[in-house]
């Protein structure tokens, strides 16, 4: 039976995973990692790929990237074939180095992008290769600490979501057992939506399909949304914007952030500034909330209803005055 054609939307960010054949090592010496990175840059430039993060592990690799007009497969085929030729030549091997086709999973939301970013950079820690992510050399973590676009990856888009280098470091140090919303799949069919409020996903900070520009140009002020939501949430708006970090108020505040960012399309950094929080704190809260939504149908429906309330009431001045 022939392989099904992959479906990749131009401009959409993807989490890509490629493993060694039979899960064997694909990097045997330090120079192998350096050779792979050089080839990665070569094919990134050749095919116009936006590379936002990577981690090279002994027997597999992770990327967070955005293909251009050409299919993602062009970049992956060129990179994997080139490195396989190098590996086989140096070590006297023949045949396939990588296991089947790579896996690719689309990232449709800022929260998912950040979850993948942390997942990729924390890979060596979870594998117990190092105690801290700072100790691992062959990932883009240090590009993010530098806080600028480097020769290999462009860290700027995700740093803007988080609010800069300090917020990124806090985000990476946050202790969490979170898992990704879904494991990567083979890209032969559209992935299920991981965030239930995807009917209004809002703009993605890394551009691509489905972006709509600055939401502040099309949405009413955040203060209006807060006025509408404070009643259904059952919390005074002063407490939602205040310093109270109790479990109950923090839970309502996280629900508010989810509705504003995931349901209505406001930017993380704008919501964080409005509530007097760090963008990294809001991003972490949204990531945890996304995991709860996977298993809690009643919570998912409640937040969807809150989003609809804001859309209906916020667009009607008479209702807002009422």
Higher local confidence (pLDDT), 88 or 220: 88
Note the pLDDT of residue 53: 96
| Torsion angle (degrees, nearest 10) of CA 134, 109, 208, 265 | -130
Note the pLDDT of residue 9: 53
pTM: 0.58
Higher local confidence (pLDDT), 269 or 203: 269
**Percent of the residues in the chain that have a pLDDT greater than 70, as a whole number:** 75
Helices 268-275 and 247-258 cross at an angle (nearest 10°) of 140
Cβ-contact 204, 13 below 8 angstroms: yes
Closest by CA to 261, choosing from 271, 251, 250, 253, is 271
Note the pLDDT of residue 252: 87
Cβ-contact 268, 261 below 8 angstroms: yes
Higher local confidence (pLDDT), 225 or 120: 120
pLDDT at 281 over 60: yes
> pLDDT tens-digit profile of 116-169?
999 999 999 888 888 889 989 999 999 999 877 778 999 999 998 888 888 898
pLDDT at 189 over 60: no
Note the pLDDT of residue 52: 95
As a CATH number, domain 215-321 is 1.10.1750.10
Note the pLDDT of residue 269: 80
pLDDT at 187 over 70: no
Tell me the two tokens of residue 308.
Answer: 């609809």
Q: For the residues of 102-144, what is the DSSP string, one character each?
A: PEEEE--SHHHHHHHHHHHHTHHHHTTS-SSGGG--SBSHHHH
Q: Domain 14-173, what architecture?
A: 2-Layer Sandwich (3.30)
Note the pLDDT of residue 305: 83
Q: Domain locations in the chain? A: 14-173, 215-321
**Percent of the residues in the chain that have a pLDDT greater than 90, as a whole number:** 30
- Overall average pLDDT of the 106-116 stretch: 86
User: For residue 314, what pLDDT band results from cuts at 50, 70 and 90?
Assistant: low
Closest by CA to 123, choosing from 188, 64, 171, 56, is 56
């Amino acid at each position: 039976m022939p392989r099904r054609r992959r479906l990749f939307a131009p401009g959409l960010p993807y989490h890509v995973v490629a493993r060694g054949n039979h899960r064997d090592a694909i990097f045997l010496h330090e120079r192998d990692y350096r050779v792979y990175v050089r080839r990665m840059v070569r094919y990134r430039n050749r095919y116009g790929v936006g590379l936002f993060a990577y981690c090279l592990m002994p027997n597999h690799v992770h990327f967070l990237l955005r293909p251009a007009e050409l299919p993602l497969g062009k970049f992956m085929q060129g990179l994997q074939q080139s490195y396989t030729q190098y590996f086989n030549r140096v070590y006297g091997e023949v045949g396939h180095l990588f296991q089947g086709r790579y896996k690719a999973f689309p990232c449709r939301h800022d929260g998912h992008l950040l979850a993948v970013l942390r997942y990729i950079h924390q890979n060596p820690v979870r594998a117990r290769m190092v105690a801290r992510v700072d100790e691992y050399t062959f990932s883009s973590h240090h590009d993010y600490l530098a806080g600028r676009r480097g020769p290999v990856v462009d860290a700027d888009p995700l740093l803007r979501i988080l609010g800069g280098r300090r917020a990124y470091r806090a985000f990476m140090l946050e202790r969490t057992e979170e898992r990704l919303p879904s494991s990567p799949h083979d890209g032969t069919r559209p992935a299920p939506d991981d965030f239930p409020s995807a009917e209004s996903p809002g703009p993605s900070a890394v551009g691509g399909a489905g972006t709509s520009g600055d939401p502040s140009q099309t949405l009413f002020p955040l203060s209006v949304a807060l006025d509408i939501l404070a009643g259904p949430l059952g919390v005074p708006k002063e407490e939602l914007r205040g310093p109270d970090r109790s479990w109950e108020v923090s839970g309502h505040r996280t629900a508010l952030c989810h509705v504003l960012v995931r349901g209505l399309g406001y930017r993380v950094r704008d919501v964080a500034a409005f509530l007097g929080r760090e963008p990294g704190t809001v991003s972490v809260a949204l990531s945890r909330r996304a995991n709860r939504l996977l298993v809690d149908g009643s919570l998912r429906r409640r937040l969807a209803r809150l989003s609809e309330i804001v859309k209906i009431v916020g667009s009607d001045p008479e209702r807002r005055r009422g």
